[in-house]
Structure 1
Amino acid sequence: MSKAKAISAQPPPMPTNKDDINTTWTFLEWGVERIMYSLKEGVDLKTYMSLYTIIHNFCTAQKAVGPQQNNLNSNHRGAHLLGEDLYHRLNNYLKNHLAHVHAEMVKHTDEALLTYYNDEWKRYTEGGIYNNHLFRYLNRHWVKREMDEGKKDIYDVYTLHLVRWKEDMFGSTQNAVMDAVLRQVEKQRNGETIEQQKIKLVVDSFVALGIDESDSTKSSHDVYRQYFEKPFIDATTKYYERESEVFLAENSVVDYMKKAERRLDEEKDRVPLYLLAEIMHPLMKACETALIAKHCQLMRDEFQILLDNDREEDMARMYKLLARIPEGLDPLRTRFEAHVRRAGLLAVEKVAQQGENLDPKAYVDALLEVHTQYAALVHSAFAGESEFVRSLDNACREYVNRNEVCKKNSARSPEMLAKHADNVLKRSTKATEEDDMEKLLNQVMTIFKYIEDKDVFQKFYSRNLAKRLVNGTSANADAETSMISKLKDASGFEYTNKLQRMFQDMQTSKDLNAAYEDWCEQTFDREDRKEGVDAYYQILGTGFWPLQPATTPFVPPPTIVKTYERFQNFYNSKHGGRKLTWLWHLCKGEIRANYIKMNKVPYTFQVSTYQMAILLLFNDSEEVSYDDMASTTMLQKETLDPSLGIMLKAKVIQANPESAPTQSGTSYTLNHGFKNKKLKVNLNMAIKAEQKQEAEDTHKTIEEDRKMLMQSAIVRIMKSRKTMKHNQLVSETINQIKNRFSPKIADIKKCIDVLIEKEYLERLEGDELGYLA
């Protein structure tokens, strides 16, 4: 503890001569001593006013002015000299005072040193405040004039106190004080309890000493930064470097991360307790370097183990730690991307064992499962950080487009996704609830985002949509429009333009059928209307529907002919310049089998138009030969045989002989013993050979469309640029169409050659191409 200096309670005699510096200072020194050492007792108001008055009288004494009393300059100089003497005596007093304090301070160490330092600092600065007020007249006149004239080493009285402490005490004690502070902080880091207020007072003192000696009205943190912050940061670095080395030698990386996380939190919490707020950044940076940067390779090496074992919490901890250091996460992102890609490829390999019979749902589910798992991991462990999202996207793009299933056919993924979307949107799907349907559509769009050949998806999707609309098998019209809206948002208006036109045609057809019904009622009587068959007509625009013409000639039955000719007359009366082309291979209907019944109710067969034409032949004959079927319907063998085969398999008809069911010379009869659990029997099954052919035709169409797309892009670029280097044109073409598919450079070069032959482009000197208007 600090020792109090013995000070006389009785003041010395008041100076009788107000300009006598010696008697004046003797009295003033006694007052200053009372203030500096016995602040609690201090001086009474009467004595304080006496001290203030003596200073005022001394500074305004006229005797020192000399004989030229009316000379203003001399008057000024006299006051100047008196004030200077008083100022320097106070300065010397403070030096002596601090010499005594310093002599006592060196006797203390550690916590006792901090206690003594803080007590003396507090007493000294509080005394400085009182002295500053006591010498206010000196400050306002003599000190101000000296400072205004640019005199060095002149300060107001309080600043003089700080300057003296800084010069007479600080230089020889700050190292010992700082060592004591650091030992206390280390004790706290080791789990001991310390008096934090003592360190806070030291910090405050170092900050207060940051005076600008050229301008006492200004201050800085230079003293604090040099003598407190720097050694504090250095000691912190050494402490955690030493601790982390020892801990890692005996514990796992995961345990170390927990400790590092805890230590970082402790240091962050320490700042507001007794440190200056501005130390937060350099302190945390030093801790991050010692605790994380120096051991980041060990953590990164552990990352793969955490990934393999789904240690989500530990990965989140590692992410938060490595995110604190520059480029700390880059290797993690790279490993994460490679891991997700491997997981995706492995998932596809498992389902690829189904071969050609691969179920689209199983394939898409395999892709989704990996994405869902690691998208959730990015969100929970990596805070949804954009760079980890990019790594996930890169990995998904790889395993979606380049996997075991895509080896033979690079466009297999978009084709399978389109088939899966078709199954989702068909009426047979189990997801009838709106939420479930929306969830399934969002899953389709999740994979769609990663598909590179979006034109392949578009082509297959549009064909499947056309079939759903024509056959009326869509589960939900709202789901269909929702899906198109999602595709539009993802790929633009042009991508979905034809899809939207299909829906418009369906509405137009609905209105047309209603108008046709009205026309029939007005044109024909009831008996005439009964002669035809009940029919519904769909008028599809040739340029918008991806429908292929029939691959076989066909002569429809007379009943159907009479019905469709009546509609054709109606249509021509409304649209004289249009031509109707009947797509018989897409038509279907229901036919009632009056010859066989279940509980007195005839069976109803759901058939294709081709099957209907075959079955209607049995209205005229009990037995119909294969050759008669072929000659009457004009169906080719490739279509006739599968249509017959389905009915034979369902035992609706019987072949004679049974050994040759679908060939010339075979005859067929109706099976009067037919039985089925359902009254409505569906015979309109898809023919696998036709489906395969359709898929092949679709791929051929895609190739042709790609050539046209590349050529139009090249022409568009050259039209705006006029001349261009060959490689630049190739690069620009790729940029323009990469959102639809990934073009091959060789294909672009072929398109350039074709356009040169067609005289859209010409070769110029060097490697340059020119546009021909």
Structure 2
Amino acid sequence: MSASCPTGSDLNSTWLFVQPGLEFILGSHGDQGVNSKMYMNCYTAIYNYCVNKSRHPTPGGGSLSGLGSSGGSDKSGSQAYSSTNSYSLAGAEIYRKLDDYLIQYISSLKKEDQESFLEFYVKKWTRFTIGAGYMNNVFDYMNRYWVQKERSDGRRDVFDVNTLSLLKWKTHLFNANAKKLIEEVLEQITKQRNNEIVDTSLISSAIKSLVFLGIDVQDLKKPNLVVYIKHFENIFLEKTAEYYTKESNQFLEQHNVVDYMKKCEVRLGEEVSRSNNYLEDHTKKYLLETLNKVLIEDHAQIMYNQFLDLLEQYQIGHIQRMYKLLSRIPSTLEPLAKCLEYHIKEVAVKEIEEIKRAAEVEPVGEASSATGTPTPAAPGAAPAGSLLRRKPNPGVNPKTYIHTLLQVYFKFNEVVTSAFNRDPLFIKALDNACRHFINKNSVATPTPKSPCRTPDLLARYSDAFLKATSKESDISDMSTDNLMIIFKFIEDKDSFEEHYRRLLAKRLINSNTKSDELEESIIQRLQEENSLEYTSKMTKMFQDMKASEDLKNNVKEELDQSSTTAGVKDFTPLILAHSMWPFKFSEDYDLKLAPELSQPFQKLEEIYHRKHNGRQLQWLWNHGKSEIKANLSRKGKPPFLFTVSNVQLMILLAFNKKSTYTFKELSELVGVAKHTLESHLLPFTKYKLLDQSPTGSPEVLGLPDTTFTIVEEYKSKKLKVNFVSSIKTEVKQEEEETKKEIDETRRNYLSACIVRIMKARKTIHHNTLVNEVATQALSRFRAKIIDIKKVIDYLIEREYLKRVDNDTYEYVA
């Protein structure tokens, strides 16, 4: 290159001056680059040519005629732009010279024998793109004026020098060698996957070149990945699928599923790292989809088969690993959740069958005679020398039953929490399984048509830890939280409410609650879980208890003012609302009040009727209890304190008048039914407070002439003796009453649902009505279709609705 710039208007001399510099810029002389002086001379020569030609245009001098396509469309290649003005931008001739030079330069690039095509390509590409950037600056004036003017006039086959260089590279080097280049790139990636050492910079540079070559000739600023996707991405994904399909199949032939899952984690981590190093973001999504398909989805069934074994072995870590892999493909989780649900049910069945079998066997001790109130053996302990016998009607202990259910729940709740990250799908599987085995198992429903006993057993479980008389050691692991966990899964919540309310009533009237605050907190939690209506009766029961306390104080004040009440130390009347409490008046308990007790009762009725004129009182003598002092101990010893029922109280008070009565005389004095008197007398004879004559079977006890004599000295080691707990209760009758109450409540609830729906809809199809009623009832119980139909027929009979045709109802009332 000569030291002085050529004449500005001479194209050939300008090009001859510039070309040696371009060769240095593009790297024709190896690592020897262009120096600053040479660079400035090239820039000045191009600048001078463009400026001078623009000032002194020649006919056609500003045109670009006959210029072929430079990698883009040649649609406008034959157009001629001529200047008719006094001033025209120049650049077409030198642009054409540059175009021809780039073609010649790129075509002259040759690979050395010792290097791979990938190495050759990356080396030349790296140097060429650096040179193209510098060359773009050399032709900066032409880019800014002539190229910009041509493109603004609609020419899409004219480009800035850097873009022109890339297009020429793509046309004359890449297109002809693309297949070979990509093959070598993929070969390097395969070697890397096989843990061979490779030069990742070669892979990265080659792939990035595909992105740079994706030029949209219509809009140079618009990102374009056509070259990258067509030549690399599609083939890369296909080869990746082939590689990992083969590897995974071979690995599973020689290793177990757990090892395979660990291998998957490693491979996925490697591919993510690889994608971050040299893949475009566009590919990352499809790469993960491909990996998930061949590594996980294609082998999901093998994982499902292993899942149950991992659950049985409680391998939380491996289960979590399986979940994380399968969660990459959400559709594969559904079968896993079903497997979990199935397994939970199976485990629950085994656990419940085990406690049922244990309950069928009870210890049988040797006969013994003892006086006083018997002390029960420790739960689960069999006396020395005892035998085992199978019960004809097995009964599972409520605590054992509920804790077995809780044990299954807690075990798999931990699995769902730790292994499945509380995924809603697996929470649902756990809930479905719990709802199934809590409501349908061999203890809860011994026969298909049996009502579920879980609500009853849960109510009894609650009663045990809410009673003040329960031993702390027996209830240490019982809690409100346990109650609420099982309650959440019970389908017949109305049945639980009825059983719980009955037991609550007994605790309240017998002053046997551990804590009123604890009782009310449970009712509050039941209300939050269900509804205000659900606990309304129980809430009213507590209100009655507080109102009764005020009434008791009023009675006591008036009795103290009026006269003495000899023999009555404390009198605690309870006034209970008939519709809220689960008690009914029984004619079997038409008790005759002892004369010494009449004054407090008369005063109570007087005060109550003053406050509530027109209300009626019915005494429920079969409920409540009394404490009585009995001076039947040895001389110098303190008196006994007997806990007795109201009937037993009247029996014992009669013995203040004389020491011996016949059964007939006691029956006339007490007034209750014969079988009721027998059941209340039996504890006295059994534990030797009364001597019966003649002795014998319980049938002898109820004979009119059988006599009962109070002992002069009661031989019991305990000063406090409870005779109430030994009274034979009619359990079967109480269960029937409870069932009847539940059935009646359900009929009323279904009636209300139907009427409410009919009021809103006026007319409705049969199936729609049944479905809506069943849905509304789910919060309280699972309504049977036959029961809904019966209630519909009842409402038709009562003229609340009528049939329009066979399948449609109309609201009438």
The separation in 2 between residues aligned to 1:570 and 1:67, in whole angstroms, is 129
Match of 1:3 in 2: none
Residues 456-467 of structure 1 aligned to structure 2 (within 5 Å):
456-467=495-506
Q: Would the alpha carbon gap of residues 477 and 704 (structure 1) be closer, same or farther in structure 2, given more than 3 Å must change?
A: same
Q: Specify which of 432, 437, 440 is matched with residue 394 of structure 1.
A: 432
1:91 aligns with 2:83: no
Match of 1:7 in 2: none
Q: Secondary structure at the match of 1:12?
A: coil
Match of 1:263 in 2: 267
The separation in 2 between residues aligned to 1:65 and 1:755, in whole angstroms, is 105
1:540 aligns with 2:573: no
How far does the alpha carbon of each residue in 1:305-329 deviate from its partner, in whole angstroms, 9 at most, with x for none? Answer: 3333333332222222222225212
Answer yes or no: is the 8 Å Cα contact 1:156–1:216 preserved in 2.
no
Q: Secondary structure at the match of 1:332?
A: helix
Cα deviation for residue 366 of structure 1 reads 2.2
Cα deviation for residue 190 of structure 1 reads 1.5
Cα deviation for residue 276 of structure 1 reads 2.5
Match of 1:238 in 2: 242
Match of 1:127 in 2: 131
Match of 2:342 in 1: 338
Cα deviation for residue 466 of structure 1 reads 0.8
TM-score normalised by L of structure 2: 0.87
Match of 2:48 in 1: 57
Q: Specify which of 320, 323, 326 is matched with residue 327 of structure 2.
A: 323
Cα deviation for residue 746 of structure 1 reads 1.8
User: Which letter maps to 1:104?
Assistant: K
Q: Would the alpha carbon gap of residues 543 and 104 (structure 1) be closer, same or farther in structure 2, given more than 3 Å must change?
A: same
1:477 aligns with 2:467: no
Answer yes or no: is the 8 Å Cα contact 1:418–1:457 preserved in 2.
yes
Cα deviation for residue 645 of structure 1 reads 1.1
Cα deviation for residue 599 of structure 1 reads 5.9
Match of 2:488 in 1: 449
Q: Secondary structure at the match of 1:764?
A: strand
Cα deviation for residue 292 of structure 1 reads 1.4
Q: Would the alpha carbon gap of residues 492 and 686 (structure 1) be closer, same or farther in structure 2, given more than 3 Å must change?
A: farther
How far does the alpha carbon of each residue in 1:325-362 deviate from its partner, in whole angstroms, 9 at most, with x for none? Answer: 25212222222222222222222222334344321112
Q: Secondary structure at the match of 1:624?
A: strand
The separation in 1 between residues aligned to 2:97 and 2:804, in whole angstroms, is 96
Cα deviation for residue 512 of structure 1 reads 2.6
Q: Specify which of 777, 793, 796 is matched with residue 753 of structure 1.
A: 793
1:413 aligns with 2:454: yes
Match of 1:18 in 2: 8
Match of 2:670 in 1: 633
Match of 2:70 in 1: none
1:364 aligns with 2:375: no
How far does the alpha carbon of each residue in 1:401-427 deviate from its partner, in whole angstroms, 9 at most, with x for none? Answer: 222121342232212221112112212
The separation in 1 between residues aligned to 2:83 and 2:650, in whole angstroms, is 136
Q: Secondary structure at the match of 2:331?
A: coil
1:35 aligns with 2:25: yes
Give aligned pairs, total. Answer: 751
Answer yes or no: is the 8 Å Cα contact 1:415–1:456 preserved in 2.
yes
The separation in 1 between residues aligned to 2:216 and 2:604, in whole angstroms, is 102
TM-score normalised by L of structure 1: 0.92
Answer yes or no: is the 8 Å Cα contact 2:6–2:17 preserved in 1.
no
Q: Specify which of 265, 272, 279 is matched with residue 275 of structure 1.
A: 279
Answer yes or no: is the 8 Å Cα contact 1:60–1:79 preserved in 2.
no
Q: Secondary structure at the match of 1:596?
A: coil
Match of 1:700 in 2: 740
The separation in 2 between residues aligned to 1:41 and 1:108, in whole angstroms, is 22
The separation in 1 between residues aligned to 2:329 and 2:728, in whole angstroms, is 60
Cα deviation for residue 284 of structure 1 reads 1.0
Answer yes or no: is the 8 Å Cα contact 2:647–2:680 preserved in 1.
yes
Cα deviation for residue 383 of structure 1 reads 2.0
Cα deviation for residue 42 of structure 1 reads 3.6
How far does the alpha carbon of each residue in 1:216-258 deviate from its partner, in whole angstroms, 9 at most, with x for none? Answer: 2333222222222222212211110111111112222222222
Cα deviation for residue 13 of structure 1 reads 5.7
Match of 1:212 in 2: 216
Match of 1:570 in 2: 607
1:253 aligns with 2:257: yes
The separation in 1 between residues aligned to 2:2 and 2:636, in whole angstroms, is 137
Q: Specify which of 455, 458, 464 is matched with residue 423 of structure 1.
A: 464
The separation in 1 between residues aligned to 2:354 and 2:34, in whole angstroms, is 94
1:490 aligns with 2:482: no
Cα deviation for residue 367 of structure 1 reads 1.9
User: Which letter maps to 1:772?
Assistant: V
Which has the higher mean CA deviation after the structures are superposed, 645-654 or 485-494? 645-654
Q: Secondary structure at the match of 2:111?
A: helix
Answer yes or no: is the 8 Å Cα contact 1:211–1:219 preserved in 2.
yes
User: Which letter maps to 2:668?
Assistant: S
Answer yes or no: is the 8 Å Cα contact 1:533–1:559 preserved in 2.
no
Q: Would the alpha carbon gap of residues 531 and 365 (structure 1) be closer, same or farther in structure 2, given more than 3 Å must change?
A: closer
Unaligned stretches of 5+ in structure 1?
Answer: 1-10
Which has the higher mean CA deviation after the structures are superposed, 612-621 or 711-720? 711-720
Match of 2:660 in 1: 623
Q: Secondary structure at the match of 1:601?
A: coil
Match of 1:714 in 2: 754
How far does the alpha carbon of each residue in 1:651-678 deviate from its partner, in whole angstroms, 9 at most, with x for none? Answer: 2222122224443222122233423333
Q: Would the alpha carbon gap of residues 429 and 126 (structure 1) be closer, same or farther in structure 2, given more than 3 Å must change?
A: farther
The separation in 1 between residues aligned to 2:756 and 2:773, in whole angstroms, is 9
The separation in 1 between residues aligned to 2:663 and 2:793, in whole angstroms, is 53
How far does the alpha carbon of each residue in 1:277-312 deviate from its partner, in whole angstroms, 9 at most, with x for none? Answer: 332211111111111122222222222333333333
How far does the alpha carbon of each residue in 1:543-572 deviate from its partner, in whole angstroms, 9 at most, with x for none? Answer: 211112233211121122222112222223
Q: Specify which of 670, 693, 697 is matched with residue 656 of structure 1.
A: 693
User: Which letter maps to 2:491?
Assistant: E
Q: Secondary structure at the match of 2:639?
A: strand
The separation in 2 between residues aligned to 1:319 and 1:34, in whole angstroms, is 59
The separation in 2 between residues aligned to 1:433 and 1:198, in whole angstroms, is 74
Residues 547-566 of structure 1 aligned to structure 2 (within 5 Å):
547-550=583-586, 551-566=588-603
The separation in 2 between residues aligned to 1:667 and 1:632, in whole angstroms, is 14
Match of 2:711 in 1: 671
Q: Specify which of 800, 803, 812 is matched with residue 763 of structure 1.
A: 803
Cα deviation for residue 40 of structure 1 reads 6.3
Q: Specify which of 509, 512, 530 is matched with residue 551 of structure 2.
A: 512
Answer yes or no: is the 8 Å Cα contact 2:59–2:83 preserved in 1.
no
The separation in 2 between residues aligned to 1:94 and 1:29, in whole angstroms, is 11
Unaligned stretches of 5+ in structure 2?
Answer: 62-80, 360-392
Answer yes or no: is the 8 Å Cα contact 1:533–1:563 preserved in 2.
no
Q: Would the alpha carbon gap of residues 512 and 195 (structure 1) be closer, same or farther in structure 2, given more than 3 Å must change?
A: farther
Answer yes or no: is the 8 Å Cα contact 2:406–2:482 preserved in 1.
yes
Q: Secondary structure at the match of 1:620?
A: coil
Answer yes or no: is the 8 Å Cα contact 2:233–2:283 preserved in 1.
yes
Q: Would the alpha carbon gap of residues 211 and 65 (structure 1) be closer, same or farther in structure 2, given more than 3 Å must change?
A: same
How far does the alpha carbon of each residue in 1:562-604 deviate from its partner, in whole angstroms, 9 at most, with x for none? Answer: 2211222222333333322221111211111113158621111
User: Which letter maps to 1:95?
Assistant: I
Q: Secondary structure at the match of 1:635?
A: coil
Q: Secondary structure at the match of 1:104?
A: coil
Q: Would the alpha carbon gap of residues 73 and 197 (structure 1) be closer, same or farther in structure 2, given more than 3 Å must change?
A: closer
Answer yes or no: is the 8 Å Cα contact 2:502–2:582 preserved in 1.
yes
Cα deviation for residue 39 of structure 1 reads 8.6
Cα deviation for residue 75 of structure 1 reads 7.0
Q: Would the alpha carbon gap of residues 742 and 198 (structure 1) be closer, same or farther in structure 2, given more than 3 Å must change?
A: same
The separation in 1 between residues aligned to 2:59 and 2:654, in whole angstroms, is 151
1:644 aligns with 2:648: no
Answer yes or no: is the 8 Å Cα contact 2:111–2:117 preserved in 1.
no
The separation in 2 between residues aligned to 1:192 and 1:648, in whole angstroms, is 95
How far does the alpha carbon of each residue in 1:79-106 deviate from its partner, in whole angstroms, 9 at most, with x for none? Answer: 55x41110111111111221122x226x
1:503 aligns with 2:493: no
Match of 1:377 in 2: 415
